[in-house]
Structure 1
Amino acid sequence: MNETTTPTESTATDQSTTEELTLEAVYEQLETLTGRVEELEAEVERKDERIEELEAELTEYKRFAGSEFADVRGRITDVEEQAEELETTLQETPTATTTVDAEENGSQTTTTETPLERICTLPEHVADRELTTNQERARFIARDVRDYAEKAPAGLVLDSQTIKKVLTASEGSNPHTQTVARVMDFLAKLGKDEVEQTKRRGKKLVVVDEEAADRYHDRCDRDIEQAPVGGVMS
């Protein structure tokens, strides 16, 4: 005798099969999504590693660029110093100037006008045209040296820190250490016997004769609009 399936039993079987198929599809989709998430996580990890590499490269580049910039700046400074040194070397022997001391005895006396005193007499537009940057700085210091220097038995004393402060106040930026050294060199070279460069307790100093300092200041006030006679740096 054959068994027969009732409509109710058939419907239940079909429903069970459908649910199994649906659940299987859900599992497949879940596995697919899980795999995709794992791929995305791996991709994010690779990008994080690449970002770290790029950051390391950027840091190294900044370090290298900073080193290169400092090297280039140093070379420029060296060239400027060589040019200024050559210009100083080519200076001629200071000329003699005759003055009359009418108040004492009316006799003529001969004094030597140093290049530093001469450039203190220059009008600003002439100084801008004739002098190098560090020579102008030396001129600026010399013209009012009494305002910056400390008075000592040897004369008016300026150290490198004082000159740096004066130039910073004048120009609005800190001068390089080598710039300060060059200005001190020019004060000594252009001032001849009136300015001495020395060291005390490891500090570099320039000592300016007091009478010379007065002349630098007086000449710049009196001759501010008068062009000098003869060579500026001779």
Structure 2
Amino acid sequence: MTTLQLADIESVETTENSDILTQLVTELSDLRERVSDLETENQQLRSELADERQQRGQSDASIRQEVTDLRDELADERQQRGQSDASIRQEVTALTETLEQGSGDDTPTAESETTGSVPPQTPLEQVVSLDEEMAESELTANQQRARFVARDFRQYATSVPAGLSMESGDIRRVLRAGTDTKGRTATVSRVMDFLDDLGGDGTRVVKRRGSRRIVADESLVARLETAVTGESRTDNTVVMSRAG
């Protein structure tokens, strides 16, 4: 009886050891697979990191190139802007000389003394007072567009403490509604510059929050209204209804 029990115990111990060994082998195999997976994942991460560094380097190079290109464009724009300003000044000078030659003697006439009309004080007033035929023959396309805007400046402008103001967007809408231009940025800019230069001390361009606007003195706008003929005002009133 004792011998049988001892054999049974040894058999149980051997079975338990075998189960433990099998479990350890299984766990070891699982650990090896996990290590292999981690090594693979680590290799993938290293590869992704290398790709990211390469792409980052290319991205930085691209950004630097874009900055260089933008600087070049800005330099070109400044140069072109300087040339444009010089061209506008030349055109204004030539126009002023033409208007002065056409105006003849500035001595007030008996008619002007009787009616109380005031002689033009700025080239813009002279431009506005031209008849259509002379305006077409003497003015450039953008000068004619500036004249068109100036004839009814008050209707298009917004009242501000400094006078009457028109933003570039306002000028663009007026030009699109009443002229043959599509209101491109360059055209609007040149028209605004002509209004500024021809208006003398009565106009000034103001830059605010990345946009430009032209501000005209109330006194100048009043003189422009006096200089406009009845026919010219009628034409612009029609355009104003379309622009609105």
2:132 equivalent to 1:119: no
Pick from 146, 153, 157: which aligns with 2:165?
157
Q: In structure 2, the residue corresponding to 1:113 is in which secondary structure? A: coil
Identity fraction in percent: 38
Separation in 2, partners of 1:85, 1:128: 20
Q: Deviations over 1:100-153 (max 9, x none)?
A: 7789xx9xxx97621100011111011000000010011111110011000011
Pick from 77, 83, 87: which aligns with 2:91?
87
Check conservation: 1:97, 1:113, Cα contact below 8 A.
Answer: no
Separation in 2, partners of 1:121, 1:223: 11
**For structure 1, which runs of at least 5 residues remain unmatched after alignment?**
1-73, 225-234
Check conservation: 1:154, 1:207, Cα contact below 8 A.
Answer: yes
Check conservation: 2:157, 2:166, Cα contact below 8 A.
Answer: yes
Spell out the pairing of 1:73-152 with structure 2 (5 A cutoff).
81=84, 84-90=88-94, 97=106, 113-152=121-160
Q: Which has the higher helix share?
A: 2
TM-score by length of 2: 0.50
Check conservation: 1:121, 1:223, Cα contact below 8 A.
Answer: no
Separation in 2, partners of 1:132, 1:172: 13
Q: Deviations over 1:174-226 (max 9, x none)?
A: 222111000000001000011111112222110011121122122122697xx
Cα pair distance change 1:198/1:143, threshold 3 Å: same
TM-score by length of 1: 0.52
Separation in 2, partners of 1:135, 1:173: 13
Pick from 207, 214, 220: which aligns with 1:212?
220
Separation in 1, partners of 2:106, 2:189: 31
Runs of 4+ in structure 1 over 3 Å off: 80-85, 89-103
Aligned position for 1:197: 205
**Amino acid aligned to 2:224:** Y
**For structure 2, which runs of at least 5 residues remain unmatched after alignment?**
1-76, 233-244
Per-residue deviation, 1:89: 4.1
Separation in 2, partners of 1:125, 1:101: 27
Pick from 170, 188, 192: which aligns with 2:178?
170
Check conservation: 1:149, 1:157, Cα contact below 8 A.
Answer: yes
**Amino acid aligned to 1:215:** R
Check conservation: 1:98, 1:111, Cα contact below 8 A.
Answer: no
Higher relative contact order (CA 8 A, sep 6+): 1
Q: Deviations over 1:64-95 (max 9, x none)?
A: xxxxxxxxxx9xx99x9575443224455897
Separation in 1, partners of 2:172, 2:132: 22
Q: In structure 1, the residue corresponding to 2:228 is in which secondary structure? A: helix
Cα pair distance change 1:143/1:162, threshold 3 Å: same
**Amino acid aligned to 1:206:** I
Q: In structure 2, the residue corresponding to 1:151 is in which secondary structure? A: strand
Q: Which has the higher strand share?
A: 1
Cα pair distance change 1:197/1:223, threshold 3 Å: same
Check conservation: 2:145, 2:179, Cα contact below 8 A.
Answer: no
Separation in 2, partners of 1:97, 1:222: 23
